[in-house]
Amino acid sequence: MKFGLFGSAKLNKINNDIDSSLSYNEWVDYNIEAEKLGFESTFTVEHHFTGLGQVSASLNLLTYLAAKTSKIKLGTAVLTLPWHNPVLLAEQVATMDLLSNGRIQLGVGKGYRYNEFKGFKIDMNEANERFDESVDIMVKS
């Protein structure tokens, strides 16, 4: 049986004003310990405009974790394709995969939160078409 983690770091505020990296570093340390304990994988989320301190830069966080670990597989659960340039995303993920010695597992989706689409000024009704087009482009890249 194999075990993995799902979740994400959460940004904390200091005095309701200043962002703190404390929770990010705790999440990284948690995953380093999970690797030592034999966990096979860790997956993190992508969310924007929530006001809840959720991670919006999942790839950056996983790249940092890749540099701090050597075996644990690093995954996205999920990156919302309609919000990303598919060619740039494919390049970034391929670079991460090379630097991590093949440990990246890319999970993608079309998104489901209206406020996130609104924040990017993207019509949520375009999600299916944008998702399909992005997958086609990424597979060809």
- Which tens digit of pLDDT belongs to each residue from 81-103? 999 999 999 999 999 999 999 99
pLDDT given for residue 120 in this prediction: 96
Query: Does 17 have pLDDT greater than 60?
Result: no
pLDDT given for residue 15 in this prediction: 63
Confirm if 106 and 79 have CB atoms less than 8 A apart.
yes
In this prediction, residues 109-119 reach a mean pLDDT of: 96
Average pLDDT score, the chain: 91
Whole-model pTM: value is 0.89
Domains of the chain: 4-140 (3.20.20.30)
Higher pLDDT, 51 or 104: 104
Distance (Å, rounded) from C-alpha 118 to C-alpha 54?
Answer: 17
